Amino acid sequence: MSLVNFTSREITCKIVYYGPGRSGKTSNLQYIFGRVPEDRRGQMVSLATQSDRTLFFDFLPLDLGTISGFTTRFQLYTVPGQVYYNATRKLVLQGADGVVFVADSQARRFEENLESLQNLQENLLAHGVDVREIPLVLQYNKQDLPADLILTSEELDEALNFRSVKSYPADCLHGSGVFETLRGVSELVLRRLARKGPIA
């Protein structure tokens, strides 16, 4: 996949929402899906288990129309968060132009966040991509939960954001921070238009 195709005048951005299981990746896509006019979005593909856990991945195509002469499309993916679906995660990650790491702000999920972040780094490396090179933002979801259950953005930044990328507090169920996150990662991805090709 190519980020910019000057022959067909297309820009296609693949953005992958990554993170531990039940951190809210699919919720991000569902919220976005609900805010995008019908003629701008494709069918959201979601393969989930009976308990609403993502079995394979979610896929939401967005058609942003013609921008500067380029037909611009965004493809939003989520990965299954469960540890045993790593092969799928790796597959989905292939060719990603940007990554949103969705962390669960609950204090009890702290370790899972760390593991998932390490797993992201490993899987990117498997595709020959340095995590420092790829557009990456962090989203601290579930900030709407009682304060005694969660870590603050500052605490999560301290713990997870050692690369000092942009981070966004969010409440995906109600939409807070969802589009801010998408805008953040999109900007990083698009800023690379004139410089880099696909990451893998």
The residues in 63-92 that bind another protein, with binding defined as CB under 8 A, are 64-70, 72
d(C-alpha 181, C-alpha 177), whole Å:
6
Q: Does 145 bind another protein (CB under 8 A)?
A: no
Handedness of CA 27, 32, 35, 40 (dihedral sign): negative
Q: Which of 56, 86, 187, 200 binds another protein (CB under 8 A)?
A: 187
Q: How many Cα neighbours within 13 Å face the side chain of 33?
A: 19
Instruction: Give 44's DSSP letter.
Output: P
Regarding beta strands 70-78 and 4-5, do their DSSP bridges make them parallel or antiparallel, or are they unpaired? unpaired
Pick 113 or 186: Cβ nearer another protein: 186
Q: How many residues bind another protein (CB under 8 A)?
A: 39
Site mask, another protein, residues 26-65, x = CB under 8 A? ------x-xxxxxxx-----------------------xx
Q: How far is the CB of 196 from another protein (least distance, A)?
A: 7
Q: What dihedral do alpha carbons 113, 115, 116, 121 form, nearest 10°?
A: 130
Element holding 182 (H helix, E strand): helix 178-191
Q: Does 128 bind another protein (CB under 8 A)?
A: no
Site residues, another protein (CB under 8 A): 2, 4-7, 11, 32, 34-40, 64-70, 72, 174-176, 178-179, 182-183, 186-187, 190-191, 193-198
